[in-house]
Structure 1
Amino acid sequence: MFNLTDTIINYDVIPFDDTLIMYNPHDPISVISVFLSLSPILLLTFYLSWLIITRELESIIVAGGQLLNEFSNKIFKRLIKQPRPHEALMGPGYGMPSAHSQFVGFFLSYWTLKIWLQWDPHASTSLKTQSSLFILTFTLMVCGSRIYLLYHTLEQVTLGYLIGIANGTLYFMAVGVVRQLGLMDWLLAWPLAQACYLVDSFNSSNGETLRKKWAKAADSS
């Protein structure tokens, strides 16, 4: 027989770290840090919106990489089992390596490589440099927010950031190999992919064609 009292007493719950954030509402930096800490959720939402609007395969590729990176973080945490620096205040859960730092580390390396190796060849070096510095600054701010909010130590954030950079680099290389083998074209030939109108116009091989298409659309409007 169902017993509500026993269920409540034995109810074992933990907070969902990506959205539950403790902060000081009277501290402007703490408030800003909250929004920075929400960036993984916001970025994944952007990838989903990108997919819905453009049917671009790249959105699935990079979101899949971020999720694999997140999965590896769970494994590392269970292996290392280092608690957060203020576990009594911030709640249970392991802190080494920082999931947020690992997420943005992946974001940094994947998109920096994308910008320099596969971006529009007509883009200037100055624009590429500015874009890379913007991403670097953003990711470092996210890392700093996790320390400021007392969720992680400098060591936990640093390790997470470095693992994310390594994962992003390896994933970028793996995607490049898959493209060279023609597996992306094979995937796009699937009936499901065609029914969803998926396209792969974001990579370098189709970059010039896409640029001309956008230019033509702009002229016609």
Structure 2
Amino acid sequence: MSHRDEYKQWPFLTEEEFELACALFDKKYVQAKMGPTRQIFKIRVRRTMTTGVTYVEILRLLKLPENNLDLLDAFGKMKASEEEAATDADMMDENTDEEALRTTNQQDDGLPQYTTYARQPYVTYEIHLHPTYRTPTLWFTLHDLPMGEPTFNLDSVYRYLVPPEYKSGLRAAGITGGISAALNPVTDIPAFFIHPCQTGEAMEKLDCSIDNYLMMWIGLVGGCVGLWVPKEMAQAEKSGSIVIR
């Protein structure tokens, strides 16, 4: 059975189709029985206040703390700062660059508490609809790396995110090795992204419902920079409401 009649122009997406795909993807995450994985892998659907643009944000710890006390401490900070981290960047006019964002809130010990995963190395992925190619585009940034390791650095991306089996292929894909850099479409902060020029061609070979569009897309695009959807999400029940936060 073909699912292509669900789309106006398969495999490309209208804004409404992308928003629905995001909501259904979020629904799978909400309903999945993920256990402890939910604490280190978080998915949220975002909507900018000024333009109403919808996108998906995924946060993942790069590695677990060495002991349970550190892990509990990280989880506590994640919970305490979650609401603050949810504020859209376009509402924070005074924060015009990453340093300003990271130093907005300081505790007595001087360590920044800007993000959910403060003090723990982590990666933020964002899925945006490309306005020209009409396919999802994967953006990503590294945060809170060990002292002396730059976050906006291609070598850091290859060291922390790119699995060994993908490195040679990505480096051979172009001047920047298949990974491009530009200003994030929401925050205007420098970020990396996977260029979507071949996404439509890759998706064209598949056939999936709008319910599974982003699952399939991440399977094609995400693995080269360390993004996989937890298998529990594929097993999530199909009943329940759609959640947009």
| TM value normalised by structure 2 | 0.23
Larger Rg: 1
Report 1 or 2 for greater relative contact order, CA contacts < 8 Å, sequence distance ≥ 6.
2
If each structure's helix is expressed as a fraction of its own residues, which one has the higher value? Answer: 1
